Amino acid sequence: MTPIRSVDQLIGSGMDSWKDKFAKVQVRESELPSSIPAQTGLTFNIWYSKWSQGLGGNTRFVSPFALQPQPHSGKTRGDNDGELFFCLFFAKGMCCLGSKCRYLHHIPDEDDVSKLSLRTEVLDCFGREKFADYRDDMGGVGSFRKKNKTLYVGGIDGALNSKQLKPTQIESRVRFVFSRLGDIDRIRYVEDKSCAFVKFKHQASAEFAKEAMSNQTLLLHSDKEWDDRKEGTGLLVKWANEDPDPAAKKRLLEEQKLESLNMMVRLLNKSNNNSTDTTPSKEAKKSPVKKISIGLPPGVSVSNSKKRSLPIDNGMGGDDFIESLKKLKKGATNVDDFPTKSSASLSNGPLIDYLSSDED
Amino acid sequence: MNDEINELPPKICEQCLGDDTNVRMTKIPQGSECKICTLPFTLYHFKASKRSGHIVKTLICGRCATQRNVCQCCMLDLRWHIPVQLRDHLISMVNEENVITEEAKNDMMKRFLSLKDVKLGGAQITSDSAEADIILDKLKSILQKATSDSESSQLQIQGAAESDKNKQDKDTEKYRSVDVSHILKKIPLSESFTSDVSSRSFFLYNIDASIPEWKIADSISQLLNIKKWSDGNSLSLIINHKAKCGGVRFQSSMLGEQFARKVQETITTRKGLERGVLRIDRSRIFVIPWTSGFSAASFGATTAENIKLSLSLNKLMGLELGSDDKQFRAKSLDNIKKNKQNTSKKVQKAKSKKSKPRANNLTL
């Protein structure tokens, strides 16, 4: 028996990180399906990319493409450019650009999540805008009001082409496919409703997994139904509502409490830092904008009243902004002509002299 | 609808504007629909830096932003840069009153609310620097309290354990008819955890429902000094939170041996069996080698079986650890055990019969 040097080497030989290779082209462009879905109505609405005037037909299908996390991920142009967002087509397993894609081609990990954290309040991990409320069917991009890390996985029967499996087998299949896409918090399969709930560690992972697993099959290559997988209907992956279980509610409360405690610590640290190191810089950098922002009518502030310099503080755009601010201030004293005067002054500045509907 | 608020400069935080001193902004009057109140507003968009490929847009109108004291682009609180819910939660924790930013459900109400000149929820406090400073001061004292007397929080947990106990009693009644002996038979409870054990799989129990899987995976991979993502599937973990137990399987028995060696802490049960201990946060997870391997079915096929399994394991732990253990969990379990003895002697007997022969086998 040969001595084994270290565990790392042993593992390193089998698996490689996505950072060591370039992303693969998942599909050739010529093989991509038409962007127009199969005709189910009389007229095609190019805005919604849907057929209308008809029965609608069944829109559920099994995607012919699937993301294979290990072989597909790799470096792209986006990695060089410091891109934050992931490629939606990569998640669906159908990016035809490969390493030339300007979005990221790998599974979101801790680093990505921390980089994304500033944006994820309003954008999902693919850079799409979130909405105030969930869609009625809980599908889609999701809401910016709730930090939802839990996915509802339905349509399991259709994704298995009605293959009869034991509940534990289904659970392990769900666990297998979802655990490749991010750190799992918990998975629960509800056998009498034949649906599963998958909770991730990060919301970004949930967003990614939602797109990656929608309309996918749960069949494996070894199943005899594999060849007919497209006859089934894929998984339905949606956002989950809150768990009604009292124990889960209690857990959620605890989690929130912990999160706010952590935030308290961070806030205090930040305020301590601010009070120590902004005092000298405040005197050093007495920007003109500062004065103006003080002179503004109450209730009006350009930005937060932090001691750092204001966002637009010098240069051409800034000066015009200051001009308009000054005029605004004057206008505030003379309430009657305030709106007209300020709008006139604003539309003079180069910052805002783009055409608008008023000018047309 | 050219109202004055739309002509005021946008409320955008510094984080969104980026580090550049010059920001070139485009203004489009009535350019977009506010995501909160659905009314049209003056849209501004810009790039945080000239090189960046992303256009940052204002998503909500100035009115809604002022009402909530948030940035129009990232919708984080302008003072603290935290989400609205978190801010409200924080403030309600500090002020001990319920502060929430109530959002209207229907469109008409959304518009109506947005036209009112009010500050919603925590915005009342964070929009005023003096009040926000007061909150920060209060935060300081709360945190000091929290760190100085951690015993109080422990008391809290103990209280929680009490209520858990009642629930557990109810559960035992409810699931008495469920038979999990076939599952228990397959769980290697009579095995002993030693540092030279060679096994690819391990049984983990005493997993509190609040511990997420990733924490366990993290602590195991930290122990073995491997990175989870880069190696893909060097370990697979199945945790059944309903059954409060789970299993871990390593890719190779090499890793399994390594794991057994790295787990330093062990405890000895009353029967003289060794159990490895994984410490996560405040709780301890016990480890037993599982040479026969496992599948998801090893933790029960139905929810009822899962819960019953967790109850039986709890009872077993009470027996194993005895009252000399100082952990509150063991204590509360002991109490349950006593209760059981009073209420249902039959079940208790049946259980002890089940566990005793196994122990005898081992001593032989």
Cβ–Cβ contact A313 with B under 8 A: yes
Nearest CA in chain B to A359: B29
Residue B153 in domain = no
Q: Do residues B181 and B123 share a domain?
A: no
Inter-chain contact A271–B78, Cβ cutoff 8 Å?
A: no
B165 pLDDT tier (thresholds 50, 70, 90): low
Residue A339 C-alpha, separation from nearest chain B C-alpha, in angstroms: 6
Entry pTM: 0.76
Can you give the pLDDT at residue A151? 95
Q: Taking the mean position of all CA atoms in its chain, how far away is CA B244?
A: 15
Task: Say how many domains are in chain B.
Answer: 2
CA distance B236 to A8: 17
pLDDT digits 0-9 by tens, B266-323? 777 777 788 888 888 778 888 888 888 788 778 888 888 888 888 888 888 888 776 4
Nearest CA in chain B to A82: B52
Inter-chain contact B54–A267, Cβ cutoff 8 Å?
A: no
Are the CB atoms for B52 and B32 separated by under 8 Å?
no
CA distance A71 to A222: 19
- Hey, how many other C-beta atoms are within 10 angstroms of the C-beta on B350? 12
Can you give the pLDDT at residue B99? 81
Residues of A in contact with B102 (CB under 8 A): none
A154 forms bridges with which residues in the sheet? A236
Residue B163 in domain = no
Inter-chain contact B89–A260, Cβ cutoff 8 Å?
A: yes
**Pairing of β B201-205 and β A236-239:** unpaired
Candidates B74, B143, B234; nearest CB to A265: B143
A5 pLDDT more than 60: no
Can you give the pLDDT at residue A58? 67
DSSP string, B162-211: HHHHHHHHHHHHHTTT---HHHHHHS-TT----TT---SEEEEE---TTS
A22 forms bridges with which residues in the sheet? A75
Can you give the pLDDT at residue A209? 95
Question: In whole numbers, what is the pLDDT of chain B averaged over residues?
Answer: 76
Residue A131 C-alpha, separation from nearest chain B C-alpha, in angstroms: 7
Can you give the pLDDT at residue A55? 72
Higher pLDDT, A151 or B227: A151
B20 pLDDT tier (thresholds 50, 70, 90): confident
Report how many Cβ contacts below 8 Å link chain A to chain B.
205
Of A83, A91, A30, give the one whose Cα is nearest residue A65: A91
Q: Which domain holds residue B204?
A: 176-318
B150 pLDDT more than 60: no
Q: Average the pLDDT over B44-70 and give the result.
A: 88
Residue B130 C-alpha, separation from nearest chain A C-alpha, in angstroms: 12
Residues of A in contact with B130 (CB under 8 A): none
B349 pLDDT tier (thresholds 50, 70, 90): very low
Residues of A in contact with B45 (CB under 8 A): none
What are the distances in angstroms from CA B231 to CA A28, A198, B212, B251?
28, 22, 21, 10
Q: What are phi and psi of B115, to 5 degrees?
A: -85, -10
Can you give the pLDDT at residue A83? 87
3-state secondary structure of B101: coil
A6 pLDDT more than 50: no
What are the distances in angstroms from CA A19 to CA A107, A109, B226?
11, 12, 17
Can you give the pLDDT at residue A349? 38
A237 pLDDT tier (thresholds 50, 70, 90): very high
Cβ–Cβ contact A319 with B under 8 A: no
Residues of B in contact with A314 (CB under 8 A): 21-22
* Of the residues B127, B149, B165, the one at which a domain ends: B127
Question: In whole numbers, what is the pLDDT of chain A averaged over residues?
Answer: 74
Residue B302 in domain = yes
Residues of B in contact with A118 (CB under 8 A): 15, 74
pLDDT digits 0-9 by tens, A305-350? 333 333 333 333 333 444 443 444 444 333 333 333 333 333 333 4
Can you give the pLDDT at residue A16? 61
Residue B141 in domain = no
Residue B251 in domain = yes
B163 pLDDT more than 80: no
Q: The domain spanning residue B276 has which CATH number? A: 3.30.70.330
Residue B121 in domain = yes
A259 pLDDT more than 50: yes
Nearest CA in chain B to A185: B212
Q: Average the pLDDT over A96-113 and give the result.
A: 91
pLDDT digits 0-9 by tens, A171-182? 989 998 998 898
Where does residue A131 rank: exposed (0-12), middle (13-18), buried (19+ CB within 10 A)? Answer: middle
What's the token pair of residue B193?
């955890």
Is the ipTM, as predicted for this complex, more than 0.85?
Answer: no
Inter-chain contact A201–B214, Cβ cutoff 8 Å?
A: yes
Q: Tell me A244's DSSP state.
A: -
Of B232, B249, B256, give the one whose Cα is nearest residue B295: B249
Residue B243 in domain = yes
Can you give the pLDDT at residue A45? 87
Share of chain B above pLDDT 90, in %: 9
What's the token pair of residue A338?
């305030």
Q: Average the pLDDT over A263-280 and give the result.
A: 68
CA distance B60 to B92: 25
Share of chain A above pLDDT 70, in %: 71
B218 pLDDT more than 60: yes
B40 forms bridges with which residues in the sheet? B33
Residues of A in contact with B252 (CB under 8 A): 10
A29-44+57-249 belongs to CATH 3.30.70.330: yes
B147 pLDDT more than 90: no
Inter-chain contact A311–B23, Cβ cutoff 8 Å?
A: yes
Candidates A118, A132, A256; nearest CB to B89: A256
Higher pLDDT, B351 or A275: A275
Residue B361 C-alpha, separation from nearest chain A C-alpha, in angstroms: 31
Higher pLDDT, B25 or A119: B25
Residue A338 C-alpha, separation from nearest chain B C-alpha, in angstroms: 8
Per-window interface: A 72-131 vs B, CB < 8 A: 81, 83-84, 102, 107, 109, 118-119, 121-122, 127, 129, 131
Nearest CA in chain B to A15: B231
A10 pLDDT more than 70: no
Q: Taking the mean position of all CA atoms in its chain, how far away is CA B132?
A: 29
Can you give the pLDDT at residue B121? 80
A240 pLDDT tier (thresholds 50, 70, 90): very high
Are the CB atoms for A123 and A141 separated by under 8 Å?
no
Q: Do residues B189 and B301 share a domain?
A: yes
Can you give the pLDDT at residue B293? 79
pLDDT digits 0-9 by tens, A109-147? 888 888 888 777 889 999 999 998 999 999 999 999 888
CA distance A317 to B2: 24
Residue B323 in domain = no
pLDDT digits 0-9 by tens, B107-130? 899 999 888 888 888 888 888 888
Residue A157 C-alpha, separation from nearest chain B C-alpha, in angstroms: 18
